[in-house]
Amino acid sequence: DLPADARPPALYDEALQNGVKAFQERHALATDGVIGKGTLDALAVPPAARARQIELAMERLRWTPLLRGPRMIVVNIPEFVLRAYEVHNGQVSLQLAMKVIVGKALDTRTPLFDEDMRFIEFSPYWNVPPSIARSETIPRLRRDPGYFDQQGLEFVGANGQVHTALAAEHLDAVLRGQMRIRQRPGPKNALGDIKFVFPNNSNIYLHHTPAPALFQRDRRDFSHGCVRVEDPVALAQFVLRNDPAWPEPRIREAMARGQSATLRLAEPLPVVIAYSTAIVKQGKPHFFADLYGQDKLLDQALRQQSERRRLGARPAPPAAAL
């Protein structure tokens, strides 16, 4: 990351510090110029390992659905970044990029898939998933009943009837699958004030958040699986760019209204949840940690495949050896 003709200085001067910062930026590290543990670990990765990382990224690109339409949205999980693209005359142009928060590597990983975005929900309700209700929400409500009103929660029965009072029998009904817990629109809503829906079997979507401070973290795997976006207004503008009925002021007004409303998109917009630990930006390679261990699994699968091919291509032994 130093100029090609640079000579190693005797002291840690400004030029060398800038080179370290450039290296840190390319490896998704804090660009503070301090050679700490994370920087030392990245410096210790041998070139062969980085070359293999690039090979795995290129292999994954072979079967990642790209350029499915004139516009698309791609989330790269290890990078914690969303990008929006447009295609004009065969040329792909980046229209938007922003930080995202993805599912926790430990137990709530964001799945990889591609689907079409078909709806936007302004001021959405959050229907608490049964797994979260059982493991988190109900135990919290039993310990702290005041949490129910603080968070704007309510119960919804199988017939659609809404119950706004906390009751032990309602909690038990949720555990039996006879009721669900949902959070009303508002400043504490877990989805923020907008939700981008691309129907899928994992019930994953893009949404805002009432906790934007987490976007300042370098590592951002904090969600239960859905993807939180840093700049929902800019994303909504991109999604609705071809709809003159939805300028920015109207988008902001719908987000702030506090009344849930769903907008069906005139045209589906492809969304790809992708995984690449090596990409190129401004002509330079950038590397990211293997957050979910997907590179390790792919590397093992490719090596096993190569071994099977090698054994299958081995010539048969001579008859005298049989």
In whole angstroms, give the CA distance from residue 168 to residue 177.
Answer: 14
What per-residue confidence (pLDDT) applies to 318? 54
pTM here?
Answer: 0.89
Dihedral of the alpha carbons of 276, 280, 281, 282, in degrees to the nearest 10? -170
What per-residue confidence (pLDDT) applies to 320? 45
In whole angstroms, give the CA distance from residue 235 to residue 240.
Answer: 9
Mean pLDDT by 10 residues, the chain (322 residues): 83 90 94 94 96 96 82 97 92 95 96 96 95 95 96 95 96 96 94 96 94 94 97 98 96 95 96 96 95 96 90 62 39
As given in the structure block, the two tokens for residue 84 are 């929006």
Structural domains of the chain in order of their starting residue, each with its CATH number: 67-125+186-299 (2.40.440.10), 128-182 (no CATH)
Specify whether 226 is catalytic: yes
Active-site hit among 207, 208, 224, 286: 207
Specify whether 207 is catalytic: yes
Residue 185 burial class via C-beta count within 10 angstroms: exposed 0-12, middle 13-18, buried 19 and up = buried
As given in the structure block, the two tokens for residue 319 are 């008859």
Q: Answer whether 206's CB lies under 8 Å from 226's CB.
A: yes
